[in-house]
A and B are shown apart, each in its own frame.
Chain A
Amino acid sequence: MAFFHIVVCGGLVPDPLQTLEPVSGPAGWSLKNESLLPSILDPWAANALYEADALAKANPGSKVWLASAAPKVKLQQVLMALAQKAPFELLPVDAPAGGFTDAVECALALAGAVQSIEGLDRSRLLLFGGWESASRGAGATLSVLGEKLGLTEQFQGVDKLTVDGDGSLEILERVEGGKHQVSVLSSPPAVLGWATGGRAEPPNNPQIGMANMRALMPSLQKARAAKLPGDGLTLKSVSLPRQKRNTQVVKDMPVEQIAVEIVEWIKKKP
């Protein structure tokens, strides 16, 4: 079976359970206490990483890189949670990681990191990432990056990748109506933006962690810096949705009556 060179691109996002509040400062919009919000690898990108790990394991000779643009200190925090899960090499870009950064600028910063990989076999390249992020949520970065790298076989919302006996790849992409579009790609290189995928989060393996960390921290120290200044982009305002409804709480109403009310409500034309 042929090997793959899999580069997973993933941004960092605040732990989704944290309270997020936008604040405006001299450098533009950011999150309140952004530097101290616990971060995780974007959930969609994490799915991509686990898929990459499984694919690499199933195809000996494969290799996985993780390219991420984020402040160094955040990256190292996330590595703590991630580096025991799958072997990978890090391609760090020391850059802002917030949702208000520009997708194209971010993609171009990552392109530099991917292009710097020594020994990357382009003909076996699979560029992985999330189909969206939980911060910017644009679903554009990976596509821009692919285009910049000249990759014109691209898939978004991927839930499944199967390598067939002839080396072709069958790919399931999410399309409208809860369905998947099935495509066959005869060979890499390609871009795959993952949705949920089908892999459980791998367990923490201390041996993987220990081995990973020996290389990860030195490469993090050498992270290339990028500014992502948001040239030409003006965020006029950012606000939390304030709409609050006057909830009518219906207690002690017999089940029968509730059912009647609900049925009437369902039947009423919106």
Chain B
Amino acid sequence: MDADIVCVGFGPATGGFLTTLSRGLAKSDGSPAFENRISPGSPLQVVCYERSDDLGYGVSGVVSRARSLKASFPNGEFSQLPFYSPVTEEKVLYLLDPGKASRRPSLMRAADAILKRLPGAVTDGAFALPYVPPYLHKKDGMVFSLGQFNQWVGSQLMASGLVQLWPGTPVARALFEDGKVVGIRLADQGVDKEGRPAAGFLPGMDIRAGLTVVGDGPVGPIGRQLDMHFGMPPGHAAYEWALGMKVVVDLPADTSLKAGTVLHTMGYPEPEIFGFLYVYPGNVATGGIFVPSWFDNPARTSYRYLQHWMQHPALWKHLKGASLRSWGAKSLQESGLRGEPYLVGNGFARIGEGSGSTNVLTNSGVDEAWETGAQLAEGVLELLREKKTFTKTDLEQTYVRRRRQSWVYREGQMAEKARDGFQKGFVQGVAGMLISGLTGGFLGWPGRPLAPYERIPSLADFYRGRLTEEEIDEIRKNCQLTGQSLHDALMDRVGWPPVELDGHLLVSHQDALLVGGKVQATPGFADHVVVLKPQLCKVCDRRLCVDMCSGQALGVAEDGEIRFDREKCVHCGACLWNCAKLIDALTGRSNLDFGAGAGGLHSAEN
């Protein structure tokens, strides 16, 4: 099948692209501004395929300065979204350890001790920074639900009649011809879990297009396929990742939190874990944590830490009595410019987080993603008007030129070195961010990022001084016998208090999946998480993929192999960057392949 432009993935980047593009596709009298390349006379054919069942699923609390969004919607049309609120108050909280289990370096302990002695500095176990660093602030911004926003944008686009959006339609791979990308192939349908034809087999159709727009996000398979096919620009690699795990909650009726309140937290439950709480109108809030790839815990997890984070006194005073409405998780590509792939090539362009647009210094990604999409659309409209094709050179002169001249790139440069200090430690990391932020990215704390698989230590190294190797072995064996999570057992042993479930907010991990939404495992599609060399898993002593799996969809079978249960997968993509086994040094390919699968989490509230 042929189209003029085919887009992969519908998120904020593709939203920005299609919104901007569609405004240029019709003349003022409503007639098409451009023609279809195959059948002249008919309008330009623009299609977008999205793997998930709808455009608005997934939990997604966002705070954003929304500079690009406001430029696209100067009349603030999106302020009608139910969870929209302008930012009214913003604070950065440094969370002290209310217990003794958090691994705090000595410098941090010393700082904690000093803060505790300063009269009035610490309230509810937290120190509020006297001001929000200028690079981080969102004071002119807004909080909203990305799910609601995406859905609204999608409905605007559909109503225009100028583009087609097809959710529930995963893209399997890009099509290459003579070094060009000539379109995409959709996933096979009517296949069994291994991908073998079964009842109702419908082989994935080829959609050929003059331009393939890849906006499939940080763990998108088409973006990664292009990375492997074309390689990365010299010196570039996507080494830094994080897993964002979030909840949407009903706050207690008597909450003192006002809509538009934004809290950024750091320091607890582990120094490497940052958190956020954004307050929506109607006594609803979204909160969560980011567990980064440079948190060198070989049994790191997200859910348990999320529960400890929520119970920190500074947050618990707001969350006690709250109830869970929704839950979800997502990977973030945090390498920014250093993870930027080739943005364009013959027949294709990359936008959004998968193109390295997320900014870790300003803590912002949605607005940047939207802006890159809008920039591509402006470039594409320019090329259409000049009746040019989508060659690498043409796209460089239009899209890439715009991107390089924009605030997205400028701020990306500022952020480039900002997090290097975290390679050395938390204190160095925070200091490095501050230095980078205040010098406009000129200076930073030196540190060389490593690929996740290069830096995962052994459990013995991580727990040195707290647990002996014998103790770890015993815990591991016990876990294999009882089926308990290794990370839970280890955290229990080193003093993390047990989580007292209350059935409202503090619920078991499995119940979070049930109460917070429900995973749909659409039949007729192959499993999208595949172990490439099962024997490698058998000898793997890390198995972080299992511990970091947001939905407990990965487990270890009796034979030592990794088993995948699609009915629990929320498509967060954490397994991809938490695999400790490299199988191709050239491309950085790990032993777990994460493809585009249908279904996934329908969050109970987005």
- Confirm or deny: B20 has a beta carbon within 8 angstroms of a beta carbon on chain A: no
Give CA–CA (A205, B169) in the complex, Å: 9
- When distances are taken between beta carbons in the complex, the residues of chain A under 8 Å from B200 are 200, 202-203
| Contact A19–B1 (Cβ < 8 Å) | no
- Confirm or deny: A38 has a beta carbon within 8 angstroms of a beta carbon on chain B: yes
- Confirm or deny: B420 has a beta carbon within 8 angstroms of a beta carbon on chain A: no
- Confirm or deny: A28 has a beta carbon within 8 angstroms of a beta carbon on chain B: no
A interface, how many residues as a size bin?
Answer: 20 to 34
- When distances are taken between beta carbons in the complex, the residues of chain A under 8 Å from B355 are none
- When distances are taken between beta carbons in the complex, the residues of chain A under 8 Å from B151 are 36, 38, 77
| Contact B82–A81 (Cβ < 8 Å) | no
Interface of A is mostly: helix
| Contact A84–B54 (Cβ < 8 Å) | no
Give CA–CA (A204, B172) in the complex, Å: 14
Interface residues contributed by chain B, number (CB under 8 Å): 43
- Confirm or deny: B517 has a beta carbon within 8 angstroms of a beta carbon on chain A: yes
Give CA–CA (A195, B47) in the complex, Å: 34
Interface-forming stretch among B114-122, B156-164, B254-262, B293-301?
B156-164
Give CA–CA (A207, B161) in the complex, Å: 17
- Confirm or deny: B286 has a beta carbon within 8 angstroms of a beta carbon on chain A: no
- Confirm or deny: A232 has a beta carbon within 8 angstroms of a beta carbon on chain B: no
Contacting B158 at CB < 8 Å: which of A15, A38, A80, A209?
Answer: A80
- When distances are taken between beta carbons in the complex, the residues of chain B under 8 Å from A17 are 517-518, 602-604
Give CA–CA (A80, B10) in the complex, Å: 13
0/1 interface trace, chain A 68-89, chain B, CB 8 Å (1 if under):
0000110011011100100000
- Confirm or deny: A60 has a beta carbon within 8 angstroms of a beta carbon on chain B: no
- Confirm or deny: A217 has a beta carbon within 8 angstroms of a beta carbon on chain B: yes
- Confirm or deny: B53 has a beta carbon within 8 angstroms of a beta carbon on chain A: yes
- When distances are taken between beta carbons in the complex, the residues of chain B under 8 Å from A162 are none
A15 and B169 in contact, given A36-B81, A77-B154 (Cβ under 8 angstroms): no
Of chain A, the residue at the smallest CB distance from B604 is A19
Q: Closest CB of chain A to B189's CB: distance in Å?
A: 4
- When distances are taken between beta carbons in the complex, the residues of chain B under 8 Å from A80 are 54-55, 154, 158, 165-167
0/1 interface trace, chain B 581-606, chain A, CB 8 Å (1 if under):
00000000000000000000011111
In the complex, which residues 164-196 of chain B have their Cβ closer than 8 Å to any Cβ of chain A? 164-169, 186, 189-190
Give CA–CA (A113, B604) in the complex, Å: 34
- Confirm or deny: B85 has a beta carbon within 8 angstroms of a beta carbon on chain A: no
- When distances are taken between beta carbons in the complex, the residues of chain B under 8 Å from A18 are 602, 604-605
- When distances are taken between beta carbons in the complex, the residues of chain B under 8 Å from A36 are 56, 81-82, 148, 151-152
Q: Closest CB of chain A to B234's CB: distance in Å?
A: 38
Of chain A, the residue at the smallest CB distance from B10 is A80
Q: Closest CB of chain B to A24's CB: distance in Å?
A: 15
| Contact B167–A73 (Cβ < 8 Å) | no
Of chain A, the residue at the smallest CB distance from B191 is A203
- Confirm or deny: B524 has a beta carbon within 8 angstroms of a beta carbon on chain A: yes
- Confirm or deny: B212 has a beta carbon within 8 angstroms of a beta carbon on chain A: no
Give CA–CA (A217, B164) in the complex, Å: 10
- Confirm or deny: B57 has a beta carbon within 8 angstroms of a beta carbon on chain A: yes
Of chain A, the residue at the smallest CB distance from B148 is A36
- When distances are taken between beta carbons in the complex, the residues of chain B under 8 Å from A76 are 155, 158-159
- Confirm or deny: B332 has a beta carbon within 8 angstroms of a beta carbon on chain A: no
Q: Closest CB of chain A to B285's CB: distance in Å?
A: 15
A33 and B82 in contact, given A17-B604, A204-B168 (Cβ under 8 angstroms): yes
**7 new A-B pairs (CB below 8 Å) besides A77-B158, A79-B158?**
A38-B57, A38-B602, A77-B55, A77-B151, A80-B165, A81-B53, A207-B205
- Residue numbers of B with Cβ under 8 A of A are 1, 45, 47, 53-57, 81-82, 148, 151-152, 154-155, 158-159, 161, 164-169, 186, 189-190, 199-200, 202, 205, 207, 325-326, 517-518, 523-524, 602-606
Q: Could you list 20 A-B pairs, sorted by A, with CB under 8 Å?
A: A15-B54, A17-B603, A19-B325, A32-B82, A33-B148, A36-B148, A38-B57, A38-B606, A73-B159, A76-B155, A76-B158, A77-B55, A77-B151, A80-B167, A81-B53, A81-B167, A200-B200, A204-B186, A210-B1, A221-B161
